[in-house]
Amino acid sequence: MAAQHSIQLPADDIRAVWQSAGLSNGVLGGLRSAALDEFLHAGLPGTRNESWKYTNIKRLADELTDYLQYKAPAEPDGSAALDLPDAIHLTFVDGVFSPERSDQKGLPDNVKLTSLADLAEAEPATLQSLFGRLARTHDSALVALNTAFAGNGVALVIADGTTLARPVCITYRSSQANAAAQPRLLVSLGQGSKATVVEHFCSAHPVFVNPVAELHCAADSSLDYYKLQAEHAETWHTAVQYIAAENNARIRTTHVDYGGALARNELKLALKGRGAHAESRGLFMADGTRHVEARLDVRHEAPDTTSRERYRGILAGRARGVFNGRIYVGQDAQKTAAELTNRNLLLSKGAEINTKPELEIYADDVKCAHGSTTGQLDATSLFYLLSRGVDKPTARNMLITAFAAELLTDISVPIIAELARNALESLQADTGGIRT
Amino acid sequence: MIIDISNLHASVNGTEIIKGLNLQIGPGEVHAIMGPNGSGKSTLAQTLAGKSDYEVTAGTVTYKGADLLALEADERARAGLFLGFQYPVEIPGVSNVYMLKAALNARRKAKGLAEIDSVEFMRFVREKAKLMQLDQSFLSRGVNEGFSGGEKKRNEIFQMAVLEPDLAILDETDSGLDIDALKVVANGVNAQRDGERAFLLITHYQRLLDYIKPDYVHVLANGRIVRSGTHELALELEANGYDGVLAAAG
């Protein structure tokens, strides 16, 4: 029995596929089994569901059983890891952690990097304290799906007071078409610890990628999180990250999205402790007939919490973009300050954006603002550049690059800004029905 | 002749603003166009620079022997026409130096010159920035980003100095400047006077002309030049106001 507004799924077929995939063993097996029931009960969300209004995954639902059919990961194809010589590189293939393709040596003593299967054996209590604590299967059908079909994921546990100077870079690759990847990442930052985490999605085949990340940030910790979504042009990508910040934790998130046929990212950030602070920025780009959605849900649950969210979209061709940003301020979250902005650039007549910034405030002493603008390149700026002798295509490129570059300053992983620039260049090539 | 404007008519959104304007500027000459608000001063400047929403309905403009009106805005600039904006635009994310290098190289290419060497370019722009008393840090900042009104105007003249145009049209470059900034701007313009380069100064006040001595002064009213003279005319305007001069002009 599917829930209201959801897409009917062939429950018996999916259950049979799940059973044949051998996912029912061990500590994770129990969690998976419960999640499968939840998923089949919920079904996939349809467009009558408010948060899926502009993103239609009916076609994914039709093919879901085939995607979920177990396929043993093979040798991955396509792009290798990001050029980050200092990083600790981890690799997932078809959604499953691949230790033989990952660096696990040379980690500081206070940093634990382990597969979820190993963690479940060695420290089931630690696993239980991190897994599914933020990502609740009954809140989201896609979290339930991930949990039900999650192969071996990875956990990064950083002890109190430890600074991990090297970034941890996780590359999510594919080895075959029509596979479903359900990667799971757990991160725990101990009190006063510091880390940089980079997630890089770069499937080389048309696949379905449904990642869930849970990041726990203890008091006074500092997290610099990056996500680069550069999936294959026919890939379905539906990701969610949960981040919980305790007292005075400092969170910074940077999302860059330019791949996939349909890509949706949801960032759920909870400022749970007094004085926690979050800076979130996102750049999403699409051309052709791609569909991209950026969702943001920031919860201020404690006093003196502050956040700033800046998202920018650039859409070309006949691409469609969706932005939904919500700032929630709970009753106890006095002295909250939050500022949410979304700016979008439409480069062609056929491109489209639906944007909805929202504030939901239950405290009375707060300072919150939100705003959204959508437009074309500024004609006055363009004329200014032309009047200096810069030709029109160059002037346009300068303005488009500037629109993105303004957001991507102060990046500790510069390769991401470089890749975003490259993506912008190919985006500009899609001049179908150009404006001005 | 650098520019020969003959019977120019121009409209903005279907409303005629320039109504039969004639003006010739020879090499090395400095002309000032003065006029009350709404007389069409800025429209003239933007029309000559090639702003796309300004429509020329009649007349001709010959620039260095060619039909100026047949050129796009960027082509006009590459042919050596420069417009100093009344309201310079802020373009965050595009650095001053990046824009200038692209502009200068585009102009050099049009002249059949090779791209400027990066070291040579930096030496050149630093020297010009110094002349305009612009801090070196301005070079790497976004175009006009967070600049004060005076800094923006100095930046316009700085850009002019780098691009070395054949004809510079300066649209109310003096407006909003205090006397010290005005002197810096005037020095920048005077440093560019070489007997070849021509200037068209558009201004509301005669004050600028105390520092940049024009060869000719024209009074623009209702889209036409109604009087022309020498610097004396500017002083007469200062003494009698536009109303007095326009009444005398009939």
Q: What percent of chain B has pLDDT over 90?
A: 82
Pick the more confident residue, A325 or A105: A325
Q: How far apart are the first and last CA of chain A?
A: 51
Chain B residue numbers touching A405 (CB-CB < 8 A) = 93
Query: Residue B200 pLDDT > 70, yes or no?
Result: yes
For A395, nearest residue in chain B (alpha carbons): B99
Query: Residue A428 pLDDT > 80, yes or no?
Result: no
Question: What three-state secondary structure class fits A101?
Answer: helix
What is the model's pLDDT at position B250? 58
For B164, nearest residue in chain A (alpha carbons): A388
For A398, nearest residue in chain B (alpha carbons): B94
The angle subtended at Cα B95 by Cα B89 and Cα B97, nearest 5°, is 105
When CB atoms are compared, the residue of B77, B92, B142 closest to A388 is B77
Q: How far apart are the first and last CA of chain B?
A: 30
Mean pLDDT of B174-185: 90
How far apart (Å, rounded) are the C-alpha atoms in residues A357 and A355? Answer: 7
Pick the more confident residue, B136 or A296: A296
Report CB contact under 8 Å: B77, A387: yes
Q: CB distance from B112 to chain A under 8 Å? A: no
Strand-strand pairing, A88-93 and A96-97 = antiparallel
For chain A, the C-alpha Rg in angstroms (whole number) is: 21
Strand partners, A325: A296, A357
Query: Residue A434 pLDDT > 50, yes or no?
Result: no
pLDDT-derived band of residue A151, with 50, 70 and 90 as boundaries? confident
Mean pLDDT of A380-407: 93
Query: Residue B124 pLDDT > 80, yes or no?
Result: yes
Chain A residue numbers touching B92 (CB-CB < 8 A) = 402, 406
Across the A:B interface, residue pairs with CB atoms under 8 Å apart total: 78
Q: Are A112 and A154 in contact (CB under 8 A)?
A: no
Please tell me the least confidently modeled range out of A145-159, A262-276, A406-420, B118-132.
Answer: A406-420
For B93, nearest residue in chain A (alpha carbons): A402
B37-67 pLDDT, tens per residue?
A: 889 999 999 999 999 999 999 999 999 999 9
Question: What three-state secondary structure class fits A366?
Answer: coil
A197-244 pLDDT, tens per residue?
A: 999 999 999 999 999 999 999 999 999 999 999 999 999 999 999 999
Mean pLDDT of B158-181: 94
Question: What three-state secondary structure class fits A145?
Answer: helix
Query: DSSP label at B100?
Result: H
How far apart (Å, rounded) are the C-alpha atoms in residues A150 and B147? Answer: 54
Q: CB distance from A362 to chain B under 8 Å? A: no
Q: CB distance from B147 to chain A under 8 Å? A: no
Q: Among B68, B91, B96, B140, which would you mutate to test the A interface (most chain A Cβ atoms within 10 Å of its Cβ)?
A: B91
What is the model's pLDDT at position A4? 66
How many distinct structural domains can be found in chain B?
1
Q: Are A97 and A104 in contact (CB under 8 A)?
A: no
Question: What three-state secondary structure class fits A91?
Answer: strand
How far apart (Å, rounded) are the C-alpha atoms in residues B167 and B211? Answer: 19
Q: Are A284 and A296 in contact (CB under 8 A)?
A: no
B210-241 pLDDT, tens per residue?
A: 999 999 999 999 999 999 999 999 999 888 88
A353-369 pLDDT, tens per residue?
A: 999 999 999 999 999 99
Q: Evaluate whether residue A313 is within a structural domain.
A: no
Q: Evaluate whether residue A30 is within a structural domain.
A: yes
How far apart (Å, rounded) are the C-alpha atoms in residues A131 and A129? Answer: 6
Q: Evaluate whether residue A357 is within a structural domain.
A: no
Quick one: tokens of A405? 């570059």
When CB atoms are compared, the residue of B50, B92, B103 closest to A402 is B92
> For residue A120, what are the domain limits?
6-273
CATH number at residue B194: 3.40.50.300
State the SS3 of A212-257.
EEEEEECCCCEEEEEEEECCCCCCEEEEEEEEEECCCCEEEEEEEE
Question: What three-state secondary structure class fits A56?
Answer: coil
Q: What distance in Å separates residue A342's CA from the closest CA in chain B? A: 17
Chain B residue numbers touching A378 (CB-CB < 8 A) = 89
A108-150 pLDDT, tens per residue?
A: 889 999 999 999 999 999 999 999 999 999 889 999 999 999 9
Report CB contact under 8 Å: B74, A406: no
Report CB contact under 8 Å: A386, B74: yes
> For residue B201, what are the domain limits?
3-249
Strand-strand pairing, A222-229 and A194-201 = parallel
Please tell me the least confidently modeled range out of A233-237, A301-305, A413-417, B222-226.
Answer: A413-417
Q: Are A233 and A262 in contact (CB under 8 A)?
A: no
Query: Residue A379 pLDDT > 80, yes or no?
Result: yes
Restricting to A residues 366-405, those with a Cβ less than 8 Å away from any Cβ of B are 378, 380-381, 383-392, 394-395, 398-399, 401-405
Report CB contact under 8 Å: B103, A381: no
Q: What is the DSSP string of A164-206?
A: --SPEEEEEE-SSTT-EE--EEEEEEPTT-EEEEEEEE--SSS
How far apart (Å, rounded) are the C-alpha atoms in residues B47 and B53? Answer: 9
pLDDT, averaged across chain A: 93
Q: Evaluate whether residue A184 is within a structural domain.
A: yes
Report CB contact under 8 Å: B93, A388: no
How far apart (Å, rounded) are the C-alpha atoms in residues B235 and B227? Answer: 13
The DSSP element (H or E) to which A308 belongs, if any, is: strand A306-315
Q: What distance in Å separates residue A314's CA from the closest CA in chain B? A: 15
What is the model's pLDDT at position A430? 61
B16-41 pLDDT, tens per residue?
A: 999 999 999 999 999 999 998 889 99
How many distinct structural domains can be found in chain A?
1
